[in-house]
Amino acid sequence: MKQLSLDNLRTFVSVIELGGYAKAGEFVGRSQPAISLQIKKLESQLERKLFTKVGQRHLPSADGNWLYPKAKELLELNDNIFKSLIPAPLSGRLRLGIPNEFASTLLPGLIGEFSKRYPDVSLEVTSSLSRDLLHPSQRDHFDLILALVNPSEDTKGEVVLEDEVVWVGDATRPFVGDSIPLVLAPDGCMYRSRVIEELKQQTFAWKITYTNADLGGLVAAIQQGLGITALARSSLPPNLSPLNHPKLPKLGRVNICLFNQDTQHPVISKTLAEFITSRLRG
């Protein structure tokens, strides 16, 4: 017997309520291609077209409108089951450390859903470079840390995802000229180190045109045509695209790891870790 994916239904509901794949992706913490794939899987399973595209918006078809209230009922039933079976409501303060790029792409949807399910948990989020979050002088400031780790490094964290590091840019602004323009985070960023290390082994000219620790600042610079950058594929924002160009070398892979510090609230830390793992692997 066929079974519907609740994750796909949740994405379907988000697309209807937010009016498009990009906004739904921001809300649930997934890339626009991942949202599109979920909808295609749901449409294939139901053998129905659920959306029609009008301009930049995705509007529900007649079948989509029919499915919407039923999907809402299923999701509410699912959420109520979990709420009822939790022995006691989680409460307290949880200190989360997370890389800047994941704070922009993963957190918005995750925090909304986590806070809705556990309203008595107060999340205190700090975004910074992975190197800084894992520094011995900083680690004890967090209950849970999400960080990027080179595969060759020995780590005590749980590897949530082995991801590909990809070149990223604005598809409408392809870089031209003899030199590769780079938009990068400051020294200490794993992506910056990886990019410079690989480019030094090439014969192509390159230059750093802009530096900013904040992903929003990097995205703005890229959209202004200042250059390109590198990110883990799972942290790709919806308004940027992976790039393939003969001048761009492969950047290898990176481990996305969770470090559960167990310092204050181990149950809450474990629960949030499961939320993050589900989003990254989904």
pLDDT, one tens digit per residue, over 123-142 is 888 988 899 999 889 888 89
pLDDT tens across 145-176, in order?
Answer: 999 999 888 677 889 899 999 999 998 887 76
Least Cα distance to 31 among 123, 168, 125 occurs for 168
Highest average pLDDT, of 57-61, 107-111, 142-146, 154-158, comes from 142-146
Q: pTM to 2 decimals?
A: 0.66
Domains of the chain: 6-85 (1.10.10.10), 92-161+256-281 (3.40.190.10), 164-253 (3.40.190.10)
The amino acid that residue 108 corresponds to is: P
pLDDT tier for residue 280 given thresholds of 50, 70 and 90: confident
Q: How many Å apart are CA 24 and CA 35, to the nearest integer?
A: 8
| End-to-end CA separation in angstroms for the chain | 23
- At 110, is the secondary structure helix, strand, or coil? helix
pLDDT number for residue 181: 93
Tokens 């994941």 -> residue: 102
Least Cα distance to 142 among 94, 188, 100 occurs for 94
pLDDT tier for residue 87 given thresholds of 50, 70 and 90: low
pLDDT above 90: percentage of residues in the chain:
31
Q: Which positions ≥6 away from 16 have C-beta within 8 Å?
A: 60, 64, 68
